[in-house]
Structure 1
Amino acid sequence: MEMQGLPYGPKARLVLLHLCTEAVRQRSPTVEVADSLSGFMREMGFAVTGGERGTIRQFKEQLHRLAACTMQIGLWDGQSRSSTITMPPFRQLDLWRSSGQDGIAWSKTVQFHQDFYDNLVQHALPVDIRAARAFSGSARKLDLLFWIGYRLRSLQRPLRLSWDTVHKQFGADNASLRSFRQAFKADVAHVKEVFPKLPISLDEAGLQLMPTDPGTLLVPPKPARRKAAAAGRGAV
């Protein structure tokens, strides 16, 4: 069996987002992957390409890394009770080898671990796929999107976080707090370009998030194009 490293980057997050979405939508811990993931890759703006450096191989690698990892999920009832569950996300990963020249071993079905699936169905939060596409090239922007969505579901009063706390939460790839602050400000600015009404702000003390409707994280629909109403006149 091939050794797997830790899942990382935006593709790992997008793969897990897709599989969790399909499991909740189908109400089944077993998800068909081969066709649905290719469609999801296109929806996220990725070309579906084979070969050594193709996107199929990149997504496949992250799927296998996810299958080999173990996760810790912390639960809190909002009052006095909390618990931690340690489990792998998947119970089984079935593979098939494509008939193309690259011969990539691809996943046909994924079966979630039952405990993971039960918690997913019970605690799943809605994510606008169009928003995920807007940030599909950045792991931190995706993390920020998911974190804000989670917080807004239960936020009753303003939330203040110091820069040190924000750095520990989102700054794994930035060694210094100074460089992290610059990068994080740019990330928040991009998120607010997509969601201009999002009540998140940064100052010298850190981050502030105000309570608001979680629907703020829904991408507004594009205005419908007006169809030409004038009919052409025929020649006699």
Structure 2
Amino acid sequence: MSPTFFVQAMLPHREVYLLGTDGRPVEVAGADGRPEKLLAEHYSATNGEFTLTVQAGLRKGPGPLHPQVSRGVPYGGLARLLLCHVITTALKQDSPTIDLGSTLTEFCARVDLTPSGGRNGRLRYLLDQLQRLATCSITYEWETVTPGRRDLRGERLFVVSSYHLWHLGATPTSEAADGGSITLSDAFWTEVASSCFPLDFRKAQMLRGNPTAYDLYLWLTYKLGALQRSGRGSVALSYDDLHAQLGSHYQCHADGALTAQGKKNFGYKVRAALKTIRAMWPGLVYDTPRGRVVLYNTGPDVGHRPPKKR
């Protein structure tokens, strides 16, 4: 299951850094004396009237000049897969508290990841993304402008109210004997229990290394469900409109529209991702005329079931 508000605007595809006035990532001396790039404190994506903002949690900084720094915004295919797994498990159990298993390697098996150690190993990356999800907050808001009036509405909520994660000790694969758990916040639990749509988790796992394809798969599944309910035969989106929904960031003008080169690069990436998705979803029917994606009403990949009343 995936929350609907993460389809209107999505998490970033890659790491987001705190930028200086020169547009470059800000660097400070790390704990080991080597330069360390500071991670962004927040990330925003706007799609029409809707804006999604993710505020990162904090962690201990590298020294007295920076006692606390951003933990970083969740990003990439793994963050999306983890969010999907946590929400799906909570909804299946009808409980906001999720048991993550007794060890980190056990949790890897649950999400079909092969654990690997080392400084840049998958265990550290997995734990890092879990911590980012557990400590971030989300704001989503709508701005409606009519003649003589500007309306703003929205909500800010934490994804998780409490968590207990495993500790990676002196060796990358050492783990605490006690288990891990996550409890979704009341506001987030209420939101996902009432506004999620189903997807094929096996496809999500296969696409986790390709965030563009993962985002497109979510969008296609959600959009085809909406088309089926509306009875319309097709829907068309320009590359500019689609770019505003995905977590990718190509070259844009000040008004947010893609530059000519940005549109070319984004279009190439989208067409390649659509071919990857159709290889797993043969019933998908679409066209890619110049600068657009046209999606035909063939029904969603997974049938929609109304949420339980709570």
Confirm or deny a common fold (TM above 0.5).
yes
Counterpart residue type for residue 86 of structure 2: L
Give 1 or 2: higher helix fraction. 1
The question of 1:169 aligning with 2:236 is answered no
Distance verdict in 2 for CA 1:189–1:60, change over 3 Å: same
User: What are the ranges of 5 or more consecutive residues in structure 1 without an aligned counterpart?
Assistant: 76-81, 218-236
- Cα root mean square deviation, aligned: 2.8
CA displacement, residues 4-25 of structure 1 (integer Å, 9 cap, x when unaligned): 1111111111111111111111
Q: Residue 58 of structure 1: which of 125, 130, 136 is its match?
A: 125
Distance verdict in 2 for CA 1:29–1:200, change over 3 Å: same
Q: Which residue does 1:150 correspond to in 2? A: 222
Give 1 or 2: higher strand fraction. 2
Q: Which residue does 2:212 correspond to in 1? A: 140
Secondary structure at 2:171 match in 1: coil
The 10-residue stretch of structure 1 (91-100 or 138-147) with the greater mean CA deviation from structure 2: 91-100
Q: Which residue does 1:127 correspond to in 2? A: 199
- 1:25-64 alignment, distance < 5 Å: 25-35=92-102, 38=105, 41-42=108-109, 45-64=112-131
- 1:1-236 alignment, distance < 5 Å: 1-2=59-60, 3-35=70-102, 38=105, 41-42=108-109, 45-73=112-140, 84-97=154-167, 101-102=171-172, 108-155=180-227, 156=230, 157=232, 158-170=234-246, 172-175=248-251, 176-215=262-301
Distance 2:296 2:242 in 1: 16
1:83 CA drift (Å): 5.8
1:131 CA drift (Å): 1.0
CA displacement, residues 98-145 of structure 1 (integer Å, 9 cap, x when unaligned): 567235689711110111111211222112111112212111111111
User: What are the ranges of 5 or more consecutive residues in structure 2 without an aligned counterpart?
Assistant: 1-58, 61-69, 143-151, 252-261, 304-310
1:66 CA drift (Å): 1.3
Distance verdict in 2 for CA 1:89–1:110, change over 3 Å: same
Secondary structure at 1:16 match in 2: helix
Count of equivalent residues? 212
Distance 1:24 1:168 in 2: 29
Distance 1:120 1:216 in 2: 18
Distance 2:240 2:186 in 1: 36
Counterpart residue type for residue 164 of structure 1: D
Matched-pair identity in %: 27
Q: Segments of 4+ in structure 1 off by > 6 A? A: 104-107
Distance 2:301 2:265 in 1: 32
Secondary structure at 2:115 match in 1: coil
Secondary structure at 1:6 match in 2: coil
Counterpart residue type for residue 75 of structure 2: Y
1:162 CA drift (Å): 1.2
Distance verdict in 2 for CA 1:40–1:73, change over 3 Å: farther
Q: Which has the higher contact order (CA 8 A, sep 6+)?
A: 2
Distance 1:138 1:43 in 2: 20
Distance 2:101 2:170 in 1: 14
Q: Is the 8 A contact 1:199 1:212 kept in 2?
A: yes
